[in-house]
Structure 1
């Protein structure tokens, strides 16, 4: 039985900048641009998030919400370089790595205990070497591992032994791959929690979602689907 670990950096762009500018850590901090620029927030520190600032928000709106916000222009070359160092650490410890994006990826192990130990080692090495943190989710498939990594941010580690129970209690909009339109459609059918999909008549699901209905049913049981990732 394979155990999958999802490594997800915490507020990656902002954390990379703060690692070299620790004197800004006590202030709300964002990567995006100046107040007068027509750019959007690429990443917000957790202190900035407490002010209601989030990725995708215009810089104008961000400064309106938080006048004492400190921001810098994005430096993608720097983030890509740090990303390579992160995944080099993962591969050196785990012996395998699947890069999902610049700030998240997976590795796997045949042992739950070994997966946990390797995850703790990776998290500590990233913190020691790069001065940034990551959160991790461990489960028997990638989908649930990715969801689990969001549970205890920042710097968290969440193990899901029972994917069936875990995902069943989630609202449908919390599932990776279920977008707003699908969530709205499911809610319109009276489906608000994932466990409700399990007992919903398949013929009606197929009428509304075509072949995607089978994917929704599989996911409702905590099973992975490449179409959801």
Structure 2
């Protein structure tokens, strides 16, 4: 059996702000954009969550739920620095680390001899180190498999730990509501409920063929998770597949000329991000995204080997033609990056033609 730890910082961005400003400790706060600028909530602290506020909620709606909500502008550079500090703590315990975001990661400590190989004691020591060195709290889940470790880290939040030992794994999974399985969102949950399936135990007696018919490739995953099966290893290196920039506008725009003005401001930022992501600036696609006033969006993407602003203008023309009578609330630019496998597939036939 493997020993997997999932560490999840407690309301990370908000916790940093509360740490740096004690006056915010016991009041509802949220990190995000202004309500009059179509802002959204990035995260909020636990007092704010009691009002029903959550990530990705419109700031204006959050303020209706909690008029006393204190909005704090984010400091992403600082959050990134602290995330690196936390990553350095992880590296004292194992080199098998899969970061999921700035504030959470999987650690595989199966081969560790620290604390006589006790994953529970390792997780507790990591949490202690984080609070001592950053002043922030983290919650942990410990389990033999990845998805259960992630679920367990949320069981005793904030500042808690939940350990699912191998002998308790089956019983824990059987009772899980299906909505707890990572990747099972609201739409999928409703479809499962319509089938009379509410817990993992319900799925165990349901024909897997029917799950495949209804949910496609995700059907076997639902079945495996419901049976406590997750043989995925940690992903220790991730190849970046895209780079993008976008802007949500303060007011809807109506004309192509206005879109072009936004494109002009976004393009240098995209160039900068691409240089950071790839030293050779090679790409395989360029794309433009527009989101309309009714929140529907369209994306136009075509193959291109090198970044070309004029090509974005052509793509924008095509995307803009789908506007109809709607205003435009967001403009985005993105490029797809060639992966190693894709690059090899493209190069090998060409090389063989030369030999």
Question: Is TM (by shorter chain) over 0.5?
Answer: yes
Choose from 207, 211, 221 the match for 2:213.
207
Structure 1 position 200, deviation (Å): 0.7
* Secondary structure at the counterpart of residue 108 of structure 2: strand
Contact 1:41/1:57, CA 8 A, preserved across alignment: yes
- Specify the alignment match of 1:166 in structure 2: 172
- Deviation string, structure 1 residues 147-201 (Cα, Å, up to 9, x no partner): 1001000001000122221111111111111122221211111111111111112
How far apart, CA to CA, are the structure 2 residues paired with 1:10 and 1:144? 18
Higher strand share: 2
Unaligned runs of 5+ in 1: none
* Secondary structure at the counterpart of residue 196 of structure 2: coil
Structure 1 position 203, deviation (Å): 2.8
How far apart, CA to CA, are the structure 1 residues paired with 2:219 and 2:35? 45
How far apart, CA to CA, are the structure 2 residues paired with 1:95 and 1:78? 24
Unaligned runs of 5+ in 2: 236-355
- Specify the alignment match of 1:42 in structure 2: 42
Moved more, 175-184 or 209-218: 209-218
Matching of residue 64 in structure 1 with residue 68 in structure 2: no
Contact 1:27/1:47, CA 8 A, preserved across alignment: yes
How far apart, CA to CA, are the structure 1 residues paired with 2:108 and 2:12? 22
How far apart, CA to CA, are the structure 1 residues paired with 2:212 and 2:192? 12
Matching of residue 153 in structure 1 with residue 157 in structure 2: yes
How do 1:155-194 and structure 2 match up within 5 A?
155-161=159-165, 162-194=168-200
How far apart, CA to CA, are the structure 2 residues paired with 1:157 and 1:63? 32
Structure 1 position 102, deviation (Å): 1.1
* Secondary structure at the counterpart of residue 107 of structure 1: strand
- Specify the alignment match of 1:137 in structure 2: 141
- Deviation string, structure 1 residues 53-82 (Cα, Å, up to 9, x no partner): 211111112222222221111121111111
Which structure's relative contact order is higher, taking Cα pairs within 8 Å and 6+ residues apart? Answer: 1
How far apart, CA to CA, are the structure 2 residues paired with 1:48 and 1:20? 18
Moved more, 185-194 or 34-43: 34-43
- Specify the alignment match of 1:86 in structure 2: 86
Change (3 A) 1:98 1:206: closer
Change (3 A) 1:211 1:52: closer
Change (3 A) 1:64 1:24: same
TM-score by length of 1: 0.92
